[in-house]
């Protein structure tokens, strides 16, 4: 590994430059640069000739050189547990768009919540030099991240894992969960089931949302009843469906369900309706995340709607406006009130 420097030197000396391409075509270096970067105005015919010369000479635009000049690669990495979870997919989409508006390229990683993969990404292994890393870790905690070997600015998404001196961007999960519960209380619901509690695993989200649920019940003078709290392994549709089956079998007879994310709510609603329960007349249902799917389910699903565009912009700002300020940076949320909670008092 120690001889890499000299090998790179050899490569550099024989590297075709932009000027070589310009000389071959008989145009300015600026014109070649315009073709490569899609900037300026070049006729199709001339662009084709430049591309042909680039291909013949084996020229590769030198990202590293541009970076040395600007001090910025204009690339950031985004690491999320699962792209097939709609909330993460929609978040990734927002982040890529917010970055594109500033000519920043986002490279997305999926970690599957695996410690080894999260570690490699946070250490910058296998990746080119980036301006920053935006990460939603599942397996790693603050202690693990304290010892990361990559100095790239890091912004954490979602849950507050310890106080490790990192910048976190998130909604206030406790306040938002309390708001969801208050929404059901305001409709006259009194036996509100919670789907999404977790006693194992590192899921801080579940802990914070359960705390918000309890807080709202207490404020309304309703005693917390753990027979109305249903645990899940993960936050997927299948877990919500399984929890709803337990609700139907338990005889708990809730008049409402607060599911800790929309997938849990959608899975639960499917089982409830298929089992003859009327939503919202018998049981009102509210979720969390406001994924697009919730607007098209039957009935459409009420949900806590975090300000995801603001979250995306804030995460990028934190990277580019100097070292990310440690601490919790919260974004707002609203209640999207839809047919699944139109009742029982309306």
Does 306 bind a copy of itself (CB under 8 A)? Our answer is no
Least separation in angstroms between CB 200 and a copy of itself: 22
8 Å CB contact between 192 and 257 = yes
Least separation in angstroms between CB 307 and a copy of itself: 16
Q: How many residues bind a copy of itself (CB under 8 A)?
A: 85
Closest CA to 230 of 188, 273, 183, 198: 198
Q: Identify the residue among 23, 42, 46, 51 touching a copy of itself (CB under 8 A).
A: 51
Does 278 bind a copy of itself (CB under 8 A)? Our answer is no
Does 45 bind a copy of itself (CB under 8 A)? Our answer is no
List the interface residues with a copy of itself, window 230-249 (CB under 8 A). 237, 241
List the interface residues with a copy of itself, window 94-133 (CB under 8 A). 96-97, 100, 105-110, 112, 116-117, 119-120, 123-128
Does 65 bind a copy of itself (CB under 8 A)? Our answer is yes
Does 297 bind a copy of itself (CB under 8 A)? Our answer is yes
- The rounded radius of gyration (Å) of the Cα atoms in the chain is 26
List the interface residues with a copy of itself, window 66-95 (CB under 8 A). 66, 68, 74-75, 82-84, 86, 89-90, 92-93
Contacts of 267 (CB under 8 A, 6+ apart): 236, 237, 238, 239, 240, 241, 242, 243, 244
User: What is the pairing mode between strands 154-157 and 167-171?
Assistant: parallel
Beta strand extents in the chain (DSSP E only):
75-80, 105-110, 132-135, 154-157, 167-171, 192-197, 229-231, 256-259, 284-288, 302-306, 327-331, 333-336
Least separation in angstroms between CB 230 and a copy of itself: 17
List the interface residues with a copy of itself, window 172-231 (CB under 8 A). none
Q: How far apart are CA 177 and CA 288, in angstroms?
A: 8
């Amino acid at each position: 590994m120690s001889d890499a420097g000299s090998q790179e030197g050899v490569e550099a000396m024989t590297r075709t430059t932009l000027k070589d391409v310009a000389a071959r075509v008989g145009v300015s270096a600026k014109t070649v640069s315009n073709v490569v970067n899609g900037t300026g105005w070049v006729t199709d015919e001339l662009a084709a000739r430049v591309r042909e010369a680039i291909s013949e000479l084996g020229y590769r635009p030198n990202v590293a050189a541009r970076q040395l000049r600007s001090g910025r690669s204009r690339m950031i990495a985004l690491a999320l547990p699962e792209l097939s979870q709609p909330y993460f997919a929609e978040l990734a989409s927002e982040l890529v768009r917010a970055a594109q508006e500033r000519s920043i390229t986002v490279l997305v990683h999926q970690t599957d919540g695996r410690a080894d993969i999260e570690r490699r990404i946070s250490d910058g292994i296998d990746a080119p030099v980036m301006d920053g890393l935006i990460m939603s870790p599942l397996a790693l905690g603050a202690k693990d991240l304290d010892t990361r070997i990559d100095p790239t600015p890091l912004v954490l998404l979602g849950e507050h894992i310890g106080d490790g001196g990192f910048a976190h961007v998130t909604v206030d999960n406790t306040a938002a969960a309390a708001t969801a519960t208050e929404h059901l209380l305001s409709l006259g619901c009194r036996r509100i089931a919670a789907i999404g509690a977790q006693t194992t695993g590192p899921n801080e989200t579940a802990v914070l949302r359960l705390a918000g649920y309890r807080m709202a019940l207490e404020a309304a003078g309703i005693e917390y009843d753990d027979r109305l709290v249903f645990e899940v392994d993960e936050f997927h549709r299948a877990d919500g469906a399984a929890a709803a089956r337990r609700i139907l079998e338990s005889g708990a007879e809730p008049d409402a369900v607060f599911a800790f994310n929309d997938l849990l709510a959608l899975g639960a609603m499917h089982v409830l309706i298929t089992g003859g329960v009327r939503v919202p007349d018998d049981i009102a249902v509210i979720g969390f995340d406001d994924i697009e799917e919730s607007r098209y389910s039957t009935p459409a699903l009420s949900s806590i709607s975090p300000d995801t565009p603001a979250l995306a912009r804030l995460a990028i700002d934190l990277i580019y406006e100097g070292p990310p300020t440690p601490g919790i940076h919260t974004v707002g949320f609203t209640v999207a009130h839809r047919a699944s909670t139109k009742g029982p008092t309306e």
